[in-house]
């Protein structure tokens, strides 16, 4: 389906994950974060950069992996993106829903 | 796999199974042990019984795999060179990964049912338990047999009802998933069943620590849940052999191509079952369906032919719902479980994503099928390696 975020109309999945990573830009990430009730800071962007980097290299992401990344620990990851950190951070990063749930 | 390979390969190929255990466990049976349906002796058989003629069995633990030298070295120092290696080391619980999980309360008030010891200790506890708060928990995903914790809550509900004490037992299911299961349509159906059975679900609960003294569990978001009995599925990890050999990911699973089952470690190393990192369920049915694709690709590799991208992530799981009924789900990488009939489109006799007695009979018959057919590498009647789309109600 189509959705307009940060004045940009983009294709998203039923669970509102970007369908095309190439649509992503920082303003859009900011817009999605706002919908999630998150105000982005440098610490948030560091995590988003890490997630996008892993995604581009085809590395499947898990909360554990992010906790071991050196960018943030699991507790910190939760305080930056409360409740569903991996889901929220993935949505803001413009990547598909993580497949760690199978 | 060795049954498959022995039939397919000429005599000049030497096949050796290296196993550190002398017994083979029917793992799907663990679920029933706490409720006294199976006794431990029903689900354990000596491994030698299942080794086909023409295949060597070496008992003992492996210290390291050396992909560059095409050899494995045993803890005893003995070495085995190979042309092809198939890794089938599975996955196991790692309770030590969660702060406070292990301790004097382990197998006293805090239990797992993913080991025979844990399941048997829980059976003993349930026998004269007078009731209280039973919390069932998944520490983190992925886990082996992702439906088992849910089945456990359903069976516990029926068990205490039959004992005439359901009103004395509060059942809570605390899970890191946002609902009962990993796939949306099945979750909808299963959430409804939980409600019907008066089981409280606490979703998005990512276990951080266990306090065995205070009898509470806490998640990373600060949520606290108290328990009288905690039945947890601890973090699952692959074999530490992967870590020692430097070929595993952060959970000791071996990076593997999800369609060909060739590992990304080296072209002559393949993997099957729970040992891989592929995004399929860690379920016995998956390993079974992988077997056929893996056989074909091992032969392709030997013959210098391009490997076939044959595995579609097919999983097929019965979900016990208690009171002699069960659900059945059938899914793969691209299709989530939906309603329908199985294995014959429109006929059944099994029903997908819907409770029935026939499904329960299928699940109970599965123990026989496992010992007599699956383990010897025979095909399941009417069930195909690739998931069938006919007979399923997709949107």
- Taking the domains of chain A in order of start, what are their residue ranges? 2-93
Identify whether residues B75 and B151 lie together within a single domain: no
Q: What integer pLDDT is reported at residue A61 of this predicted model?
A: 83
Residues of A in contact with B177 (CB under 8 A): 101
ipTM of the assembly?
A: 0.73
Identify whether residues B83 and B13 lie together within a single domain: yes
From the list A65, A77, A84, the residue facing B204 with the nearest CB is A84
Residues of A in contact with B206 (CB under 8 A): 63, 78
Mean per-residue pLDDT, A54-72: 86
Asked whether residue B148 is domain-assigned, the answer is: yes
Judged by a CB distance cut-off of 8 A, whether residue A62 touches chain B is: yes
Residues of A in contact with B141 (CB under 8 A): 62, 100-102
Q: Give the Å distances, CA to CA, from A76 to A36, A66, A70, B172.
A: 17, 10, 11, 27
Question: Is the pLDDT score of B57 beyond 70?
Answer: yes
Question: Is the pLDDT score of B331 beyond 50?
Answer: yes
Estimate the crossing angle of helix A42-56 against helix A85-93, to 10 degrees.
Answer: 80
Asked whether residue B247 is domain-assigned, the answer is: yes
Q: Are B1 and B294 a contacting pair, CB within 8 Å?
A: yes
Identify whether residues B272 and B297 lie together within a single domain: yes
Q: Residue B152: which domain range?
A: 95-235
Q: How many CB atoms neighbour CB A13 within 10 A? A: 12
Question: Is the pLDDT score of B366 beyond 80?
Answer: yes
Domain count, chain B: 3
Written in H, E and C, the secondary structure of chain A is CEEEECCEEEEECCCCCECCHHHCCHHHHHHHHHHCCCCCCHHHHHHHHHHHHHHHCCCCCCHHHHHCCCCCCHHHHHHHCCCCHHHHHHHHHCCCCCCCCC
Q: Which of B242, B15, B21, B35 lies closest to B151 in space, CA to CA?
A: B35
Instruction: Report percent pLDDT > 70 for chain B.
Output: 100
**CATH classification of the domain holding B82:** 3.50.50.60
pLDDT band at A17 (very low <50, low <70, confident <90, very high): very high
Q: What integer pLDDT is reported at residue B177 of this predicted model?
A: 86
Identify whether residues B11 and B133 lie together within a single domain: no
CA distance B111 to chain A (A): 23
Mean per-residue pLDDT, B96-105: 96
Kindly list the catalytic residues of A. 101
Mean per-residue pLDDT, B269-285: 94
Asked whether residue B39 is domain-assigned, the answer is: no
The strand pair at B236-238 and B229-233 is best described as unpaired
Q: Are B298 and B5 a contacting pair, CB within 8 Å?
A: yes
CA distance A6 to chain B (A): 27
Asked whether residue B325 is domain-assigned, the answer is: yes
Asked whether residue B46 is domain-assigned, the answer is: no
Q: Which of B117, B112, B121, B114 lies closest to B145 in space, CA to CA?
A: B114
For B305, phi then psi, to 5°, come to -100, 155
Q: What integer pLDDT is reported at residue A102 of this predicted model?
A: 44
Instruction: Report percent pLDDT > 90 for chain B.
Output: 73
Closest residue in chain B to residue A81, using alpha carbons only: B221
Identify whether residues B269 and B363 lie together within a single domain: no
Instruction: Indicate the DSSP class of residue B374.
Output: I
Asked whether residue B163 is domain-assigned, the answer is: yes
Closest residue in chain A to residue B223, using alpha carbons only: A83
From the list B142, B221, B277, the residue facing A83 with the nearest CB is B221
Identify whether residues B191 and B214 lie together within a single domain: yes
Question: Is the pLDDT score of A58 beyond 80?
Answer: no
Q: Give the Å distances, CA to CA, from A78 to A86, A88, B240, B304.
A: 9, 10, 28, 49
How many interchain CB pairs under 8 A, A with B? 41
Rounded to two decimals, the pTM is 0.89
pLDDT band at A64 (very low <50, low <70, confident <90, very high): confident
Identify whether residues B320 and B282 lie together within a single domain: no
pLDDT tens across B291-325, in order?
Answer: 999 999 999 999 999 999 999 999 999 999 999 99
For tokens 């409280």, the residue is B200
From the list B178, B280, B281, the residue facing A84 with the nearest CB is B178
Q: Which of B221, B203, B270 lies closest to A85 in space, CA to CA?
A: B221
Identify whether residues B214 and B287 lie together within a single domain: no
CA distance B111 to B33: 13
Asked whether residue B31 is domain-assigned, the answer is: no
pLDDT band at B379 (very low <50, low <70, confident <90, very high): confident
Residues of B in contact with A100 (CB under 8 A): 141-142
For tokens 């699973």, the residue is B253
CA distance A57 to chain B (A): 14
Range from B271-285, B347-361, B368-382 that averages highest in pLDDT: B271-285
pLDDT tens across B177-234, in order?
Answer: 888 887 778 888 889 999 999 999 999 899 999 999 999 999 988 899 999 999 999 9
Residue A12: CA count within 13 A, CB half-sphere: 20
Q: Which of A101, A84, A64, A65 lies closest to B146 in space, CA to CA?
A: A101
Question: Is the pLDDT score of B382 beyond 80?
Answer: no
pLDDT band at A99 (very low <50, low <70, confident <90, very high): low
Identify whether residues B175 and B230 lie together within a single domain: yes
Closest residue in chain A to residue B236, using alpha carbons only: A64
Q: Which of B145, B181, B220 to mutate to test the interface with A (most CBs of A within 10 A)?
A: B220
From the list A68, A78, A102, the residue facing B250 with the nearest CB is A68
* Average pLDDT in chain B: 93
Judge: A99–B279 Cβ closer than 8 Å, yes or no.
Answer: yes
Identify whether residues B167 and B274 lie together within a single domain: no
Asked whether residue B30 is domain-assigned, the answer is: no
């Amino acid at each position: 389906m189509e959705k307009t975020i940060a004045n940009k109309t983009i294709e998203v999945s039923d669970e509102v994950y970007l369908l095309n990573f190439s649509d992503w830009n920082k303003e859009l990430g900011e817009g999605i974060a706002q919908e999630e009730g998150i105000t982005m800071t440098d610490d948030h962007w560091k995590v988003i950069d890490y997630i996008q980097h892993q995604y581009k290299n085809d590395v499947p992401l898990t909360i554990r992996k992010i906790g071991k990344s050196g960018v943030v620990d699991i507790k910190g990851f939760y305080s930056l993106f409360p409740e569903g950190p991996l889901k929220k951070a993935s949505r803001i990063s413009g990547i598909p829903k993580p497949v760690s749930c199978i | 796999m060795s049954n498959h390979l022995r039939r397919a390969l000429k005599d000049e190929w030497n096949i050796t199974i290296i196993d550190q255990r002398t017994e083979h466990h029917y793992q799907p049976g663990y679920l029933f042990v706490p409720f006294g349906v199976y006794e431990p002796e029903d689900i354990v058989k000596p491994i030698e019984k299942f080794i086909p003629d023409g295949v060597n069995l070496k008992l003992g633990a492996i210290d390291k795999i050396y992909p560059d030298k095409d050899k494995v070295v045993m803890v005893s120092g003995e070495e085995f060179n190979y042309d092809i290696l198939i890794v089938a080391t599975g996955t196991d619980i790692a309770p030590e990964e969660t702060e406070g999980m292990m301790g004097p309360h382990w197998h006293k008030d805090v239990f797992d049912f993913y080991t025979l010891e844990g399941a048997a200790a829980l059976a003993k506890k349930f026998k004269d338990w007078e009731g209280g708060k039973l919390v069932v928990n998944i520490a983190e995903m992925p886990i082996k047999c992702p439906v088992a914790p849910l089945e456990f809550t359903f069976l516990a509900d029926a068990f205490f009802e039959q004992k005439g004490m359901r009103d004395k037992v509060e059942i809570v299911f605390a899970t890191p998933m946002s609902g009962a299961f990993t796939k949306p349509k099945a979750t909808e159906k299963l959430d409804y069943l939980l409600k019907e059975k008066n089981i409280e679900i606490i979703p998005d609960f990512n276990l951080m620590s266990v306090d065995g003294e205070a009898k509470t569990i806490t998640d990373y978001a600060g949520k606290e849940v108290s328990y009288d009995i905690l039945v947890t599925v601890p973090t699952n990890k692959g074999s530490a052999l992967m870590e020692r050999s430097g070929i595993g990911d952060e959970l000791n699973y071996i990076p593997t191509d999800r369609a060909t089952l060739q590992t990304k470690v080296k072209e002559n190393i393949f993997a099957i079952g729970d040992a891989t990192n592929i995004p399929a369920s860690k379920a016995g049915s998956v390993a079974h369906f992988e077997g056929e694709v893996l056989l074909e690709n091992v032969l392709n590799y030997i013959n210098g032919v391009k490997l076939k991208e044959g595995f579609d992530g097919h999983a097929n799981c019965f979900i016990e719902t208690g009171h002699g009924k069960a659900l059945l789900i059938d899914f793969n990488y691209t299709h989530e479980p939906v309603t329908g009939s199985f294995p014959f489109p429109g006929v059944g006799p099994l029903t997908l994503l819907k409770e029935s007695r026939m499904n329960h009979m299928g699940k109970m018959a599965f123990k026989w099928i496992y010992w007599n057919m699956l383990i010897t590498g025979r095909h399941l009647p009417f069930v195909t390696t690739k998931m069938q789309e006919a007979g399923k109600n997709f949107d």
